[in-house]
Amino acid sequence: MEIDVRAILAQMLNFGLLTAVLTYFLLKPIKSVLEARSRRIAEGQQAAEDALAEKAKIGEIKTKAEKDAKQEAKNILASARQEADARREELMAVAKADVEAAKAKMLKNLDKEKAAEVQVWQKQFEAIVLQVSEQLVGESLDAKKHAKLIDQGLQRIASSK
């Protein structure tokens, strides 16, 4: 069997040309398509990761906002409760003071009325006692007793300042 060198060389040249043509017209576009696809995938992955990170961030913000809102509501409630308690205490103190003042005033008025009534009765009683005493003493004094009373009176005046 004879080896056809020219045929082998022609085959080799043919193969080289085919490889060059395929490389130029097929491999490059496929490669660029694959690269573009890889790039798109990488971008998609990045976007998905970014979206996940954003979602997590939004979740954190939401949780924090909820927590802050709850805390603020709690603070407002506590403050309102405290204010209501203080107001209630204040109103109670004012009401208590008013009641005490009214009570004191009433007692004072009662005491005053009582004292005035007692004074009237006392004056009437004194007037009666005085009238009766005058009548009794006046009727029972004779000249001798008058003289004695005058002597005693003179002694009292002499010893007084």
Partner 1 sequence: MATVIITSAHELSATQRTEAEKIASKKLGHSNFEVQTVIDASLIGGITMQIGSKMYDASLRGQLESLRR
Stretch that binds partner 1, among 2-10, 26-34, 82-90, 152-160 (CB under 8 A): 152-160
Identity of residue 93 = A
Q: Which of 2, 3, 25, 156 binds partner 1 (CB under 8 A)?
A: 156
Which 8-state DSSP code applies to residue 27?
I
Burial, 88: exposed, middle or buried (Cβ in 10 Å; 0-12, 13-18, 19+)?
exposed
Identity of residue 3 = I
Q: What gap in Å lies between CA 132 and CA 138, rounded to an integer? A: 10
Residues 14-33 that bind partner 1 (CB under 8 A): none
Nearer to partner 1, 69 or 149 (CB): 149
Q: What gap in Å lies between CA 49 and CA 42, rounded to an integer? A: 10
In three state form, how does the secondary structure of 105-159 look? HHHHHHHHHHHHHHHHHHHHHHHHHHHHHHHHHHHHCCHHHHHHHHHHHHHHHHH
Q: What gap in Å lies between CA 68 and CA 73, rounded to an integer? A: 8
Q: State the binding string over 132-151 for partner 1 (x if CB under 8 A, else -).
A: -xx--xx--x-x-xxx-xxx
Nearer to partner 1, 30 or 157 (CB): 157
Nearer to partner 1, 6 or 160 (CB): 160
Q: State the binding string over 98-117 for partner 1 (x if CB under 8 A, else -).
A: --------------------
> Is residue 128 at the binding interface for partner 1, with CB under 8 A as the rule?
no
* Binding-residue total with partner 1 (CB under 8 A): 22
Stretch that binds partner 1, among 3-11, 49-57, 83-91, 123-131 (CB under 8 A): 123-131
- Which residues in this chain contact partner 1 in the complex, by CB under 8 A? 126-127, 130, 133-134, 137-138, 141, 143, 145-147, 149-154, 156-158, 160
